[in-house]
Chain A
Amino acid sequence: MSQVTLRLKQTPDVPLEAENITPDVLSDLPHDEIRALKLQLGKRTFRIDEFFEVEGERSDQVELHGDLKRVKWLGRGMTRGRLVVHGDTGMHLGALMKGGEIDVHGSAGDWVGAEMKGGLIHVRGDAGGQVGAAYRGATVGMKNGTILIDGCAGLETGMRMKKGTIVVGGVVKDFGGLQMKGGNIVMLSGAEIRTGAWMVRGTIISMLPLKLLPTFRYSCDYNPGFLTLFARQLNRLGVSLPVSAAAGVYQLFSGDCSVPGKGEILVWQPH
């Protein structure tokens, strides 16, 4: 199967804005036109081939190699195809994306999948802050889609998200699910403080006990029915959630009553 491979020649000194590196743009272009695509470095525009070695043409299967920590906006607004990154990526990875798949074999910067509407992002390393969040001044963050972070996630994960799923394998930093309006966040290794602050709706599921704000109330112990279905869906993505009542029970906390909100935080308690 044909694919487009881009190899970073050297890490730029200042951030490189590369919103043109998406399967949507690359899938229709011949080799020469891919090489001539524009990148923004500081105030100047450059051709892609000044920073990347380009192989292949006309494919929505895109592979990137190199230390891309300073490369921003990869896969911005993509609707289809697959973007595989071997190395770390910069900010705004898959921001505003609508479909397709991003797979990062490394860590990612802030704003992973910010305001995304669909598709799948899998970061094998750590992610920065504001995963699936709303940009400053916007009222709604991610509206659908799935983000899987194998490592830790930064501040304000899922800030103002409305729908969709975020799964974090490592510890989530402060303000996970801040002002959440819907959707699900799964925290497989728990979180630091202020989880679910100001949440309106939505569900946060944690495998470890959480330090919650005083505005959350303990409601009951139960095994929610929807979790069986949700766990089956997550299983396909390689994430396993305990659902058996024989193994344990979920503590339900509701809040944040400072809003006042109807969000729920489920904390797993094994027997």
Chain B
Amino acid sequence: MVLVDIRETKSVKASDIFLQIRPGKDFEVITILRALVKEQPVDESQVQETGLTLEQLQDFVDRMKKAKFGVFFFGMGLSMTRGKHMNSAALLTLAAELNAFTKFVAMPMRGHGNVTGADVIMRWQTGYPFAIQFGRGYPRYNPGEFSTVDLLVRGDVDAALILGADPGATMPQPAIDHLARIPTICLDPKVTHTSRLSRVHITTAATGISAPGTGYRMDEVPLPLRPALKSPYPTDEQVVRRIHEAVLKKPDWLQQGNRMALNQV
């Protein structure tokens, strides 16, 4: 196991090789690796700036090529530094290109909650994993334009329904400010940063503890969850269904052709 990080973490003990890179050099390192995989020359003086030597990287590439089945596990640190999605894109491209030599995959290490589940369901329902706009009755995808954090930072939405997440604790301040400004509805079993700033907080049963549901494992295997306890609160699904039924009773302001989209929900 090769561990790549900017500092010595507890995982170092479990790893065979530890490569400590300088903060914010993810994209550079992966781009150098892509070049080395194809046996292309790299400017050695600039390699030093990443915190690693060319020998270390060449050795890493040789090991990856020799592996029978390699996997990159990558965490959120990759996409939170300068370069953001392009750092992840770089790693995915490297994994794709290594398949010219051996079997290689890349798998994101998920954060808390059922993040994989949200991605998987959105994908088979709409074709896209996130940042989807339904305004015209069909899904449109454009991260940067329709992604939650960008919409909130620009102030492009005038209402929000937050479900199974706590953006009030993780998003940048302008996004949090906008959530507090607009009517925000929060569905959560507990009191969270988001529930405190939202106009309405509906307490729901905790999925997996007092409500049934499906959790998706990091490798996209669905796991049914059986509740151990009973809850006086409704589940997330019941609340959303009841909101939807109430909305359907409202007078119709949709244009022709969009009715279909509504009835399919």
Which residue on chain A has the smallest CB distance to residue B34? A258
Query: Could you tell me the distance between the alpha carbons of A45 and B258 in the complex, rounded to whole angstroms?
Result: 11
> How far, in angstroms, from A43 to B134 measured CA to CA in the complex?
8
Q: How many residues of A are in contact with the other chain, CB < 8 A?
A: 36
Interface pair B135/A256, CB less than 8 Å apart: no
Contact B156 A256 (CB under 8 A): no
Nearest Cβ in chain A — how far from B46, in angstroms? 4
Query: What is the 8 Å Cβ interface bit string for chain A, positions 193-226, against chain B (1 contact, 0 not)?
Result: 1100110000000000000111111000000000
Complex interface: stretch among B5-13, B37-45, B169-177, B184-192: B37-45
Contact B31 A198 (CB under 8 A): yes
Q: Which residue of A lies closest to B84 (CB)?
A: A155
Which of B100-108, B136-144, B201-209 lies on the face that meets chain A? B136-144
In the complex, which residues of chain A have a beta carbon less than 8 angstroms from the beta carbon of B35? 215, 257-258, 260
B229 within 8 Å of A (CB atoms): no
Quick check: is A174 within 8 A (CB to CB) of the other chain?
yes
Chain B contact-residue range equals: 20 to 34
Query: How distant is A93 from chain B, measured CB to nearest CB, in Å?
Result: 13
- Are A258's CB and B143's CB within 8 A? no
Asked if B248 is at the interface (CB within 8 A of a chain A CB), the reply is no
**Contacts A13-B158, A212-B46, A217-B41 given; 17 further ones with Cβ under 8 A?**
A14-B158, A17-B135, A44-B253, A130-B144, A197-B27, A197-B31, A198-B31, A213-B28, A213-B46, A214-B28, A214-B47, A256-B31, A257-B40, A257-B41, A258-B31, A258-B34, A260-B38
- Which B residues touch A260, using CB under 8 A? 35, 38, 40
Q: Which residues of B contact A259 (CB under 8 A)?
A: 34
In the bound complex, how far is the Cα of B135 from the Cα of A94, in angstroms? 21
* Contact call A110/B144, Cβ cutoff below 8 A: yes
Measured in the bound complex, the distance between the Cα atoms of B26 and A213 in whole Å is: 12
With both chains docked as a complex, state the minimum distance between the C-beta of A172 and any C-beta of chain B, in angstroms. 15
Q: Which residues of the partner chain B approach A216 to less than 8 Å between Cβ atoms?
A: 43
Closest to B135 in A: A43
Q: Is B255 an interface residue (CB 8 A)?
A: yes
Q: Which residues of A contact B158 (CB under 8 A)?
A: 13-14
Closest chain B residue to A91, Cβ basis: B145
* Docked pose: A51 CA to B70 CA in angstroms: 56
Is B109's CB within 8 Å of the partner chain A? no
A14 contacts B157, CB within 8 Å?
yes
Interface: B83 (CB within 8 A): yes
14 examples of A-B residue contacts, CB within 8 angstroms: A40-B135, A91-B145, A111-B145, A129-B144, A136-B141, A174-B82, A178-B86, A213-B46, A214-B42, A214-B47, A214-B49, A217-B41, A257-B35, A258-B38
User: Which chain B residues in 74-124 approach chain A with CB under 8 Å?
Assistant: 82-83, 86
* Complex Cα gap A110–B50 (Å): 31
Q: How far is the CA of A26 from the CA of B131 in the complex (A)?
A: 32
Report chain B residues within 8 Å CB of A174: 82-83
Flag whether A70 is at the interface (Cβ < 8 A): yes
Residue B32, interface by CB 8 Å: yes
CB distance from B252 to the nearest CB of A (A): 11
- B254 interface residue per 8 A CB criterion: yes
Contacts of A198 in B (CB 8 A): 31
Bound: A82/B258 CA distance, A: 34
CA distance A135 to B146 in the complex (A): 13
Chain A stretch 111-147: residues in CB contact (< 8 A) with chain B: 111, 129-130, 135-137
Minimal beta-carbon separation of A170 from chain B (angstroms): 19
**Chain B residues near A15 (CB-CB < 8 A):** 156
In the complex, per-residue mask of B145-157: 1 if CB is within 8 Å of any chain A CB, else 0: 1000000000011
State in angstroms the CA–CA spacing of A175 and B38 once bound together.
22
CA distance A216 to B134 in the complex (A): 42
- What A residues does B137 contact at CB under 8 A? 43
A42 within 8 A of B: yes
CB contacts (< 8 Å) of B141 on chain A: these are 136-137
